[in-house]
Structure 1
């Protein structure tokens, strides 16, 4: 026999959707706020008694007043006031009194303390040192963890991530990424939805953003790069006084290591931090000292590629337009050598010096750190300076020699505030001045410290032999075409690197002789 029940007249709801779960979390948050308001009205009298000593910073008097659960709850509530004049009175000493005065803290007081923790988080580190400074957050986190262990229902229950540890936001972000969960649902599942808009969840989202950068294919052009360029994103406060942009650029630069990641990553870094060679710009002081000199040099080496491309374009254009016999044969060896130096990863800095005609046809964005060659007779010329660490070169278009130096030729030529040079200042006059300074420091026995090479025959052999004679090893195969490499081996032999060829200053020789 089948029992037939009358219809109940109610629509049975389907399973909750994701949006329903979010609305429920919002309702729960509103309920907590209402409960907090009721609690506040219930402890108003205690709060008014506590305010005067809190304003004075009289911790001793406040401790004496914490004789009841109501007073303890009132103190916790005062710390949650967003614009209250007692919100910053939280201290390590008061947190210690807080726990001793109440033992097992009431549920309402715990809710207030959780709100302080998750809404303010590392912002508490900015409080005065005499209140505890950075120790306030750690003390509050330990207090909450200990109290939560006594209760089965808390934002900590059933979660693995150390929610009240300093690395809690990072741990939660990693758990979300590894589990492939929707961030909003994961945050709600962790019991943290009611703290939306607080510093803790802001850091969770920042770490999710940084984790996306860490997994981005090297050199890939993705929408996340556009987010980095947005000042509203890269200027957000991150950790230890740094901005989110600092952490993001560290990831991009470090992932590229000493290789070139491509124009997309390069341009993203430059849009945020600016050209590291322009040390006089305001953006330099904001970004590059924090990122460090090693990263600064890496990005400067990326920019050397752009400088080199402009230089090679000038050579190619001159070769085509001048129609000088043999010029077309001179371009590939220069291109191979200069690109080889950059591919070896030894180029740290570069600077272009261009005539007016070159500047007109080159892309302006690539010439931010360049200087002008003065004089109409040099309007179609370009010079390229490369800092290769152990040596420095200046290569030129047209019939300019290759100038090689064993030290910085002159601080003037790399000064970003100097924007105009005569051609001779970068060639013959520069060499003469360098020889005087070199021999004054190193003595005449160690030569002139530089070499000018005309582009005739296998001119690269002279360049490699000069470096090898002074103890500098550079892989010839990286700088020569296959045919030129074979010619070098057969006619000249591979250069022998003199282990005792490194230049030593006169002062160092004197010191070693008396040691």
Structure 2
């Protein structure tokens, strides 16, 4: 058998050039610096020494004398960083920093990074703040970093801004003047991400709150998309509040101070942060946000959301009528809109809840983000849309299409209109079904609209002839003790027709 002969292998390798290893050396240095600043645990030796120093601090011994080597510096700084009660016992005087420099004129990167974290974590709550800032600036000045792309190198570059009482204000001004997100600016100057602390909190507070305070009522802001992000909204503020709480208070306070309605764009911001305050008080969103907001503010928001509900209800009906070419619905729409909005203008609407079918739900989600919408219930019926309104101490249920207008003096106990834990309904459940439940519970059967002894619930058909349904509604509300100004709920033409043909006494309608 003949042997297999392979051709000789030839290697043609180029000569190494001086710069060929630059990339490798650069990556090695980057990893080395990351090892000094990221995901580094503390050795058992450092922890043991920290325990010894802690005991010395508790005994009130001579701490300065105990700091004799670089390991002691690292252990003490780690104690400051991890245990608030340790640094709270001390005033960071000049002696301790001189001691550090006498032992290690140039600190290790690990110790410097920990001390930087301690500064950022405690910032305006440090005793001996100016001395700490001066020491950190000197230490960063002494350090040599291989590239300007490491976090420590960037901190060195911006050390005079960062280690300064006005540092947060300066960084905020930079973000505003450059029209950049604050987080980008903080990242650019080398501040570590994902580490909560008083420095970043101060930046966030100044950045968002100062900007919001300057907004005119209803003015849009490029900050809003950032404000609604959970990591921003839940940034610590003060006294146990989040930034989101402070922002909500500012928006509501400005609107109440101006005595105007909450603009829809501002309401969407509030909803995106905190959700609807009308949900059960045990709900997580209510506990996180609204339980800490002043009750008067909550009452105001609920009122504004009722107006929002109505606006969505009317938009959904209008869109459906136009899309499906429903001439009868389009003809009835302006009168219904004027009547319902008029009730709001008169200030008699206390509360609302919106119920939307699949078609209306699609319309809402096509025009709003889910987080920007108030809480609403879903109807099994495809094209229906219904709104419930508490008017004074009475209850109105109005629906789209051929729905009746219902007016109740009270709601039966076995209904779930105001139970936000129940989110799915049928249209009949809010119409004839509700009347049946009402009749069974209160043992009052009613065969026609104005029979005695009980006239509730009123069931009004939307007959547009001769203002039939508007007159019936005004008469029913008058029976409820609510004398509604007809001029407020009718168009000018319809009001003049009513006045001339029927007069202005609703009991005569």
TM superposition score normalised by structure 2:
0.57
Alpha-carbon RMSD: 5.4
**Rounded Cα–Cα distance in structure 2 between residues aligned with 1:216 and 1:210:** 10
- Please report how far the alpha carbon of residue 48 of structure 1 lies from its aligned counterpart in structure 2 after TM superposition: 9.9
1:415-468 CA distance string (max 9 Å, x none): 44545434332112312423555689xxxx995664222334433344344444
| Equivalent residues in 2 for 1:289-304, closer than 5 Å | 289-291=291-293, 293-294=298-299, 297=302, 298-299=304-305, 301-304=307-310
- Confirm whether residue 493 of structure 1 aligns to residue 500 of structure 2: no
- Please report how far the alpha carbon of residue 334 of structure 1 lies from its aligned counterpart in structure 2 after TM superposition: 0.8
In structure 2, do the counterparts of structure 1 residues 200 and 109 end up closer, same or farther at CA, with 3 Å as the change threshold?
farther
Q: Structure 1: 5+ residue runs without aligned partners?
A: 1-46, 123-136, 149-162, 185-192, 497-515
SS at structure 1 position matched to 2:434 = helix
Picking from 424, 437, 451, the partner of 2:458 is 451
**Rounded Cα–Cα distance in structure 2 between residues aligned with 1:308 and 1:474:** 21
**What corresponds to 1:460 in structure 2?**
470
SS at structure 1 position matched to 2:223 = helix
How many residues are aligned here? 392
- Please report how far the alpha carbon of residue 268 of structure 1 lies from its aligned counterpart in structure 2 after TM superposition: 3.4
- Confirm whether residue 477 of structure 1 aligns to residue 480 of structure 2: no
**Rounded Cα–Cα distance in structure 1 between residues aligned with 2:261 and 2:191:** 42
In structure 2, do the counterparts of structure 1 residues 299 and 241 end up closer, same or farther at CA, with 3 Å as the change threshold?
farther
Picking from 388, 395, 399, the partner of 1:396 is 399
In structure 2, do the counterparts of structure 1 residues 302 and 331 end up closer, same or farther at CA, with 3 Å as the change threshold?
closer
**Rounded Cα–Cα distance in structure 2 between residues aligned with 1:360 and 1:75:** 65
- Please report how far the alpha carbon of residue 213 of structure 1 lies from its aligned counterpart in structure 2 after TM superposition: 1.7
In structure 2, do the counterparts of structure 1 residues 260 and 48 end up closer, same or farther at CA, with 3 Å as the change threshold?
closer
**What corresponds to 2:315 in structure 1?**
309
1:141-169 CA distance string (max 9 Å, x none): 5x769x99xxxxxxxxxxxxxx99xxx99
**What corresponds to 1:91 in structure 2?**
85
Q: Contact 1:336–1:480 at 8 Å: present in 2 too?
A: yes
SS at structure 1 position matched to 2:61 = helix
| Equivalent residues in 2 for 1:147-158, closer than 5 Å | none
Q: Contact 1:176–1:182 at 8 Å: present in 2 too?
A: no
Q: Structure 2: 5+ residue runs without aligned partners?
A: 1-45, 102-111, 133-163, 181-188, 445-451
| Equivalent residues in 2 for 1:52-91, closer than 5 Å | 52=51, 55=54, 60-61=58-59, 63-66=60-63, 80-81=77-78, 85=79, 87-91=81-85
1:80-132 CA distance string (max 9 Å, x none): 43xxx56444438x856x46xx99866658999x978852238xxxxxxxxxx
1:186-219 CA distance string (max 9 Å, x none): xxxxxxx999988343133212222112222333
TM superposition score normalised by structure 1:
0.57
**What corresponds to 1:336 in structure 2?**
338
| Equivalent residues in 2 for 1:256-267, closer than 5 Å | 256-257=255-256, 259-262=261-264, 264-267=265-268
- Please report how far the alpha carbon of residue 489 of structure 1 lies from its aligned counterpart in structure 2 after TM superposition: 4.8
- Please report how far the alpha carbon of residue 303 of structure 1 lies from its aligned counterpart in structure 2 after TM superposition: 3.9
1:8-59 CA distance string (max 9 Å, x none): xxxxxxxxxxxxxxxxxxxxxxxxxxxxxxxxxxxxxxx999833555x686
**What corresponds to 1:201 in structure 2?**
199
| Equivalent residues in 2 for 1:125-136, closer than 5 Å | none
**What corresponds to 1:214 in structure 2?**
213
**Rounded Cα–Cα distance in structure 2 between residues aligned with 1:232 and 1:295:** 27
**Rounded Cα–Cα distance in structure 2 between residues aligned with 1:314 and 1:231:** 35
- Confirm whether residue 120 of structure 1 aligns to residue 147 of structure 2: no
Q: Contact 2:217–2:254 at 8 Å: present in 1 too?
A: yes
Q: Contact 1:393–1:403 at 8 Å: present in 2 too?
A: yes
